Each structure stands twice: as structure tokens, then as C-alpha cells.
Amino acid sequence: MEAFAYVAPSSIDEAVAELARHAKKGHRTQVLAGGTDLLVQMRGADIEPRILVDIKNVAETNRLHLGNNEIFIGAAIPSAVLNENAELVELLPGLLEAADLIGSTQIQGRATLGGNLCNASPAGDTIPAMIAVGVSCVIAGGKGQREMPVEKFVVGVGRNALEAGEFLVGLKIPRPKSRAADAYLRFTPRTEMDIAVAGCGVSVTLDAKGLCKEARVAIGAVAPTAILVPAAANALIGTTLDDAALAAAAAACSDAASPITDKRGTIDFRRKVVGVLCRRATAIARDRALARKVLGV
Amino acid sequence: MNKIQVITSINHEEVEFLCEPQETLLDVLRDTLGRTGTKEGCATGDCGACSVLVDDRLVCSCLVLAAETGGREITTIEGIATEEGLHPIQQKFLDHAALQCGVCTPGLIIATKSLLDRHPDPDETTIRYWLAGNLCRCTGYDKIVRAVQDVARDLAGPA
Ligand SMILES: Cc1cc2nc3c(=O)[nH]c(=O)nc-3n(C[C@H](O)[C@H](O)[C@H](O)COP(=O)(O)OP(=O)(O)OC[C@H]3O[C@@H](n4cnc5c(N)ncnc54)[C@H](O)[C@@H]3O)c2cc1C
Ligand code: FES
Ligand code: FES
């Protein structure tokens, strides 16, 4: 290909047709959401011409729905818009906290959760938070739509499970029950505008007596992809989320990590910190769940 | 040629231009339209010098494709002052000497406008976080924060 092209389809079918049409001609296509990763990459690491398929005019990718059982977040919605929705922030404080950590106000005016996920950086902040709340990815392609649990979506550094001609339409999330809550924490040397050295997302559901009956724990920036840590969740389930349970979950996260040493942190440091983040994030999620009103009878 | 025709509105004025698919809004503002008030510091989203509002949303114009802006309302630094004179934010930046070389200033003024539109009475922490994506290499941030606090006080009116 010699030159760039830009298309902005206005429906899922049109977007899928555009992706297929250009793929058939052997042209490289790339989906554009907020562009906060993509445009930076086009300036430096990857300047090859390609067809940019902007999905922001597709109605479904702009849809935000807070249903009784399920929440849907379209793939084109920037995180600043999500964080202005008080009900969403109340329901999923951890996920929205992670979105609020991405870049600056300006970056959040554009950056999407879907872009953070598809970009598949090991340090992508929202990915562990999405795994913790059990996001299901809604994917459209030539053969129709399919869904995939978010923990299977990222398959390697910078690689996701989308096949040629597919794109991410949005995220489905089970609506947290009355005594459930999530939290996300990351460690960075600076407080703003920095990349995670380690991150941890946690969601917990308590029963009427305050015992943890469901939990999901995910860690980021300490392995090639963010990962679900079932051993950490198992250490929490059936407990009151007391100090002993938190310590056991923290140890499970440290064990599950396979970090690298770089200028941002050593292997030993990352292993230790990811455990600390797990312990603290679990305590935050627990306190949020306890503070939540018990709805219904 | 692959040029794309775009009709958009910049500072409430209809503007038509041709752009390459990969050109950014910043490229077009500065190089095609000659509106050089919006600055380029890094072109990678880190410095905020290129801040503009698109449909009242604060963004880095270096990370927006010009081709995406059809039918939008764009506000740049050139649209801040009025016939009557400087905008209060501009005046307070002068009063507090909140600029030296001035490269960061257009971005900071746009970002401040977007802050005060949403949070008319921000505390210092809110101001510092909101402006964290606007880097200044000369002035230091204290004078900038004082200027913003002073505008907010004035906009709130006499106590
Ligand atoms: C200054 C700065 C600071 C940043 N700070 C952070 C940070 O602290 N933490 C962090 O995690 N990230 C950070 N980022 C990275 C980036 O902002 C996020 O990853 C953001 O969420 C990307 O979303 P986007 O909508 O801009 O994606 P885009 O740039 O549009 O896309 C990213 C990638 O995903 C693909 N893609 C996007 N949407 C879809 C879709 N719906 N279907 C298929 N493929 C798709 C694109 O083709 C591209 O490969 C920062 C970036 C900048 C410039
Ligand atoms: S020039 Fe756009 S953020 Fe620096
Ligand atoms: S005054 Fe020079 S960068 Fe801010």
C-alpha cells in the first residue's frame, strides 16, 4: 500500500464489510477508536500506510446501557464520558478508577476501554480491572457476533484474539449485586502520567453474614499479559476477608507473577508489590461491598 | 491523491479544508489553516500544548485525525478572547505572570476553560490533576495554579 486511507462506517455491518473488502484486496486495515495509542504508534514505531477504520460513528459502539442484570459499554466511549456517569462509577468503582488512571484529562477525553484492551499492553491499566469484574467481549465479524471472556482476549504482548475482519463492539459486564464491589490499584513511581510497574484488580461478593462467596483477582504488568489468579480468589472465598485471607491472596498473586526486570522495577520488587496491591485492593473492595446498601428483600 | 474534504466549525465559524487521511487536527490547524496559536510540543499526547476542545471535550489535537472532525465544533485558543478583550483566564495568567516562553500557555488556557466549565469551584488538588497533562518547562506550576484559583474566585462572584 502506498497511501493511508480513512473510512468511518456508520453501522456494524458496514464496518465488517469495510474490514473484509480491504482485507480481500490485501490492504492492511486497522481499527481506530480514541487513537491515543494508534496515533502515537503511527508517529514512530509503525509508520506503514494502512486503511484506518474509525468505529466511532457506529451507533452500537456508542451505546452505554445500565441494565438490571447487565451493563453494556460501547467500544467507542471515551473514559472521561464513562467517569461522568455517576451510576456507573457507583456500580463499578474499580474499573472506572483504572480508566481514570490512564493519561491526562486530554487523553481520557479520547481513550476507550476497548482500545486499552485491544492494544494489549502488559501494563494496560483497565485490563486487570476488566478481568476482575468478569467482562465479556462482544466481537463482530463476517460470521456474525461472538462473545469471549476478557481473560482470553489478550493472547500476548500487543496481541489480541481478534481474527482478520473482526472488531470489538463493546463490553458486557454482569451488574454487581447488592453486596459486591471492585477495586483497582497500580504502583507507579509518579502519581500521574506514568505506566504501571504492577497492578491488581479485585472484585468480591459478600453474603448476608459478610462472608465472601465470590471473588475474582487479576494482576497486570507482571507477566506478558494480565492474568486471572484463581488461587488468590480461592484464598478469599469462604472467609470474612480478614488479614489472614488477604495475606494468603497476596502470596498467591506474588506466586502467579512472572515479571521482568527493567528500569521501572526488578523481578523481586514487582513480585512483592503485586502482592501488596492485592491485599490493599481486596480491603478496599471489601469495605465498599460492606458499605453498599442491601437491595431488595 | 487521497485527500479528504472536511467541513467543520472552528470557533463558531464554518471552515472547509482538504487533508491527508493520516494528518492530525494539529497539523491542519497550524500548517493548512495557519492558526498557529495551538502549539506542538511532543505530538505524542504527553505535553498538552496542542489542547483544544472538540464538542466541548478537552483533547490533544495531535491525537485527533483531521478527517474525524467533520461536523464538529472545535474551540482553539484563537476563540477564547472576545471583541471586548481578553478572556478572564488570559488576563489572570498575565496578572500572575503565569507564563514565560508561552509555549504551554494556549494549552493551559484551553484546559483551564474546560476545567472551570465543569468544576466552577475547584480545589487545588482538582486543579493540579486536571492540568497534569499540560507540561510547562519555564514558569513552574505554582503561579499557574494561583492564576486558575483567582479566575475561579472571580467567576464565583463576590462572596
Ligand atoms: C500520554 C499518554 C498516557 C497514557 N497513559 C496510560 C496509562 O496510564 N495506562 C494505560 O493503560 N494506558 C495509557 N496510555 C495508552 C492509551 O491511552 C490507552 O491504552 C487507551 O485506552 C487506548 O484507547 P484508544 O481508544 O485511544 O485506542 P486506539 O489508539 O484507538 O487503539 C489502540 C489499539 O487497539 C485497536 N482497537 C481500538 N479499538 C478497537 C476495537 N473496538 N476493535 C478492534 N481493535 C481496536 C487499535 O487498532 C489499536 O491497535 C497513555 C497514552 C498516552 C498518549
Ligand atoms: S503536542 Fe499534543 S500533547 Fe504534546
Ligand atoms: S511558559 Fe514556557 S513552557 Fe510554560
pLDDT in tens, A246-279: 999 999 999 999 999 988 889 999 999 999 999 9
Best residue among A54, A119, A166 to mutate for probing ligand 1's pocket (most ligand atoms within 8 Å of CB) is: A119
Q: Does the pLDDT value for residue B1 go beyond 60?
A: no
- Tell me the C-alpha distance between A80 and B53, whole Å: 13
Residue listed under C-alpha cell 493520516 = B22
- Closest residue by Cα to residue A40 from A198, A195, A262, A200: A195
B97 at interface of A, judged by CB pairs closer than 8 A: no
The count of domains in chain B is: 2
Q: Are B70 and B137 contained in the same domain?
A: no
B102 lines ligand 3 (CB under 6 A): yes
Residue listed under C-alpha cell 487536527 = B25
Inter-chain residue contact B21 with A5, CB threshold 8 Å = yes
Q: Does the pLDDT value for residue B76 go beyond 60?
A: yes
Amino acid letter for position A11: S
Distance from CA of A44 to the nearest CA of B (A): 9
Reported residue count of chain B is 159
Segment B12-19 long-range contacts (CB within 8 Å, at least 24 positions apart): B12/B73, B12/B79, B17/B66, B19/B66, B19/B67
Domain that holds residue B127: 88-156
Measured from the Cα of A37, ligand 1's closest atom is: 29
- Tell me the C-alpha distance between B68 and A180, whole Å: 40
Cβ pair A128, A201 in contact under 8 A: yes
Proportion of chain B above pLDDT 70, given as a percent: 98
Q: Residue A234: what are its φ and ψ, rounded to 5°?
A: -65, -30
A48 at interface of B, judged by CB pairs closer than 8 A: no
Cβ pair A183, A156 in contact under 8 A: no
- Tell me the C-alpha distance between A189 and A198, whole Å: 11
Inter-chain residue contact B21 with A6, CB threshold 8 Å = yes
Domain over A59-174 is classified CATH 3.30.465.10: yes
Q: pLDDT-derived band of residue A69, with 50, 70 and 90 as boundaries?
A: very high
Q: pLDDT-derived band of residue B157, with 50, 70 and 90 as boundaries?
A: confident
- Closest residue by Cα to residue A133 from A52, A80, A190, A73: A73
User: What pTM did the predictor assign?
Assistant: 0.96
Name chain A contacts of B58, Cβ cutoff 8 Å.
Answer: 80, 105-106, 109
Q: pLDDT-derived band of residue B70, with 50, 70 and 90 as boundaries?
A: very high
Start-to-end Cα distance in chain A: 62
Q: Considering only the top CATH level, what class is A180-295?
A: alpha beta
Q: Are B111 and B142 contained in the same domain?
A: yes
Q: Does the pLDDT value for residue A56 go beyond 70?
A: yes
Q: pLDDT-derived band of residue B49, with 50, 70 and 90 as boundaries?
A: very high
Q: Residue B54: what are its φ and ψ, rounded to 5°?
A: -115, 115
- Tell me the C-alpha distance between A243 and B98, whole Å: 49
CATH at B21: 3.10.20.30
| pLDDT tens-place string over residues A177-193 | 889 999 999 999 877 66
Domain boundary among B57, B79, B101: B79
B141 lines ligand 3 (CB under 6 A): no
Cβ pair A167, A19 in contact under 8 A: yes
**Average pLDDT along chain B:** 96
Q: Are B100 and B72 contained in the same domain?
A: no
Ramachandran area for residue A223 (φ above 0: left; ψ -120 to 50: alpha; else beta): beta
All structural domains of chain A with their residue ranges = 4-54, 59-174, 180-295
Residues near ligand 1 (Cβ within 6 A)? A 30-38, 40, 55, 75, 101-103, 107, 110-112, 114-116, 118-119, 124-125, 162, 167-168, 193, 195; B 45-46
| pLDDT tens-place string over residues A279-294 | 999 999 999 999 986 5
CB atoms within 10 A of CB B7: 11
Q: Are B69 and B116 contained in the same domain?
A: no
CATH at B117: 1.10.150.120
Distance B143 CA to ligand 2 centre (A): 22
* CATH classification number, A4-54, choose in 3.30.43, 1.10.10, 3.50.50, 1.25.40: 3.30.43
Q: pLDDT-derived band of residue A297, with 50, 70 and 90 as boundaries?
A: very low
Q: Are B65 and B125 contained in the same domain?
A: no
Q: Are B69 and B106 contained in the same domain?
A: no
- Tell me the C-alpha distance between A278 and A281, whole Å: 5
Q: pLDDT-derived band of residue A26, with 50, 70 and 90 as boundaries?
A: confident
Distance from CA of A24 to the nearest CA of B (A): 20
Q: Does the pLDDT value for residue A295 go beyond 80?
A: no
Grid cell of B151 as nine digits = 479566575
Q: Are B97 and B75 contained in the same domain?
A: no
Which ligand has its closest atom nearest to the C-alpha of A193? 1
Rounded average pLDDT over A59-71: 97
Say which residues have a Cβ less than 8 Å from residue A158's Cβ, sequence separation at least 6: A119, A120, A121
Reported residue count of chain A is 297
Residues near ligand 2 (Cβ within 6 A)? B 40-43, 45-50, 60, 62
Inter-chain residue contact A8 with B65, CB threshold 8 Å = no
Count of H-run helices and E-run strands, chain A: 12, 14
| Dihedral of the alpha carbons of A111, A39, B22, B27, in degrees to the nearest 10 | 90
Q: pLDDT-derived band of residue A1, with 50, 70 and 90 as boundaries?
A: low
pLDDT at position B159, please? 58
Name chain A contacts of B68, Cβ cutoff 8 Å.
Answer: 6, 8, 54, 56
Rounded average pLDDT over B64-90: 97
pLDDT at position A3, please? 85
pLDDT at position A296, please? 39
| pLDDT tens-place string over residues A146-167 | 999 999 999 999 999 999 999 9
Q: Do domains A4-54 and A180-295 have the same CATH topology?
A: no
Best residue among B36, B62, B65, B76 to mutate for probing ligand 2's pocket (most ligand atoms within 8 Å of CB) is: B62
Q: pLDDT-derived band of residue B158, with 50, 70 and 90 as boundaries?
A: low
| pLDDT tens-place string over residues A206-216 | 999 999 999 99
